[in-house]
Structures are given as C-alpha cells and as structure tokens.
Structure 1
Amino acid sequence: MSSITQKLTQKQQRFVDEYIISGNATQAAIKAGYSKKTARFVGAENLTKPNIKVELEKRNAEIKSQKTMDMQEVMERLAAIARGETVEQQVTNKGTVVEIEPKTSDQIRAMELIGKRYGAWTDKKEVTGGLEINVGVGDWDADD
C-alpha cells in the first residue's frame, strides 16, 4: 500500500482539521494531541507526509468550492432578484427587523447584468470609409 493511499490516523485527521482552521502547524499539532515539546517538529513533518498533503489539498478544494459561485448560481440569484423573489432584512428606527422586497433599481440592475451576460444592449457602431493622418518629422513645432 502506498503512503498516499494510507488512511489518516485519528491524530493526523485532527491535525488536518486544526490546520485548516488556523494555518499554524505547531498549534494544530498541539490541539491534535501531540506533545507541546515536539509539536513544532511534528507539525512541520506532518505537512510533508504525502497522505496528509493529499487530505489537505482535498479539504482546501472542498472549502474553495463551497465559497465560490459558479455562473449558474450567479444567474439564478440575479434572476430571483430581477423577478422580486428575494427579500432583504432591514432594521427599522425602532430596532425591529423587517423583510422587504428588492427595490426596483436593484431589479433593473440585476436585469442589466443578465442582459450583459447574454450580450444584450451592446453598442455596435459600424464605421465605413477611412481616416488617414500623416504626421511627418518636422511638421510640428513643440514650442507652439
């Protein structure tokens, strides 16, 4: 069995979990249950182990995937705003929270962004003919 496919020990899994949170190998090692005396060494060593590196890469990819939107999700949210299907929470002067529908200006902006995505409202100007400008050396005086 190669070291890359080896399953992580419980301590190694806790190390990965803590390292994802803090980004600090020494602190992650301590919180995972390694000795404080050896935590710096163990933390650095763990980051070089192929099975831990693979797990960290996998977990970071999952986190990145959850934090980013793909174009489908962006378009769905814009469409929901444009249709007035979303609500915003707003605090009143009395301190209560009320839900309000999107403003017309927000709906129009969402529609504009959708339109841009599909190439609507693109100003295209056809230019015919030619324009020729000839400037030769000595044709102008910098002191004028």
Structure 2
Amino acid sequence: MLKERQKRFADFYIETGNITESAIKAGYSGNYANAQGYKLLENVGIKQYIDERIAEKDSKRIARQDEVLQYLTSIMRGEQQEQTLRGVGEGAQTISDIDVSAKDRIKAAELLGKRYTMWTDKTQLEGTIGVTIVDDIDD
C-alpha cells in the first residue's frame, strides 16, 4: 500500500515524466528530489502503481482487438450511420444521418475476412533445384 505522498509522486510522474519536478510537487524536499528522487522509481510499489495507471489509460485510449472487430461487423451489417452535409448555398446546409455506403460495408467485410484468413492467394511456384549428394561415410 502506497503512502499518500508516494501516490502523489507517481501521479505527477505519469503526467510530467520528470522525477525531480514530480517529487517536489508531491511534497518531498528540493534536496531529496534532486539527489535521491530516482529512488522513488526504484520502489516496487510505486513502479507497479505507475505501470497499472499507464495500462489503464492506454486501455481507454487504444481500441482493443475485439472492439475493432465488433465495429467492423456493425458496419458490414449496416448498423452504423454516417453524417453528411446536404443542401445548396450558404446557410442551406443541413447535417443528415445516412446509411454507410455499400463500398464501406464491403471494405469492412474484406478487413474481417483478412483477419480470419478467409481469403488466401494461391501461388504456384515452379523450378528446379540442384541437389548435391556427398558420400562421406566411411565403409
């Protein structure tokens, strides 16, 4: 269990990436931050906390594999809509929701098919390969 000051240090370090600045903001003395701040990152508990927080943030920002597959599937099935501008002239434009185009649905199906290796390119190779047999076994 981290002490409150250690947790503050870790949170500031995640934001800034600067050991000294983070240690000072967390409440450590300037002398300690300058000379010994690196020891805070060597603390197993602090390091684990930082790793967990970064992984948590990454999972919120970066789509997971199943999320991408679900989205592509919903496009392929026509469950998604996209917004488009309609109208003529200045001020007459309105935003409308329209179904995703057939082209986009086909592309989503193609990407899903590639993921599941549904299509494979067949390649026929022909040629001759020279083989040399060396008989170096004593009788």
TM-score, scaled relative to structure 1? 0.67
In 2, the alpha carbon distance for the partners of 1:98 and 1:36 equals 58
CA contact (8 A) 1:29 1:42 kept: no
- Residue in structure 1 matched with residue 52 of structure 2 by the alignment: 58
C-alpha distance in structure 2 between counterparts of 1:111 and 1:11, whole Å: 51
Q: Which residue of 2 aligns with 1:10?
A: 4
Distance (Å, rounded) in 2 between the aligned partners of 1:132 and 1:14: 69
Structure 2 vs 1, CA of residues 31 and 99 (structure 1 numbering), >3 Å: closer, same or farther?
Answer: farther
| Distance in 2 of aligned mates of 1:97 and 1:38 | 58
Q: C-alpha distance in 2, partners of 1:46/1:63? A: 21
Q: Distance in 2 between the 1:26 and 1:96 partners?
A: 53
CA displacement at 1:46 relative to structure 2: 0.9
Q: Residue 131 and residue 35 in structure 1: after superposition, are their counterparts in 2 closer, same or farther (change >3 A)?
A: closer
> What is the one-letter code of the residue matched to 1:108?
I
Give 1:42 shift.
4.7
**Alignment partners' CA distance in 1, 2:85 and 2:39:** 51
1:87 aligns with 2:85: no
Q: Deviations over 1:81-110 (max 9, x none)?
A: 112222345567758655444232221110
The residue aligned with 1:109 is 107
Question: Cα gap change, 1:99/1:43 in structure 2, threshold over 3 Å: closer, same or farther?
Answer: farther
Unaligned runs of 5+ in 2: 131-139
Matched residue SS, 1:85 = coil
The one-letter code sitting in structure 2 at the alignment partner of 1:16 is A
Residues 110 and 16 (structure 1), Cα distance of their counterparts in 2 relative to 1, 3 Å cut: same
Q: Which structure 1 residue ranges, 5 or more long, are not aligned?
A: 1-6, 135-144
Give, in whole Å, the separation in 1 of the partners of 2:35 and 2:96: 53
Q: Give me the whole-angstrom Cα distance separating, in 2, the residues matched to 1:124 and 1:67.
A: 38
- Over the matched positions of the two proteins, sequence identity in percent amounts to 40
Residues 89 and 30 (structure 1 numbering): CA distance in 2 closer, same or farther, change over 3 Å? farther
1:124 aligns with 2:122: yes
How far the C-alpha of 1:69 sits from its partner, in A, is 3.4
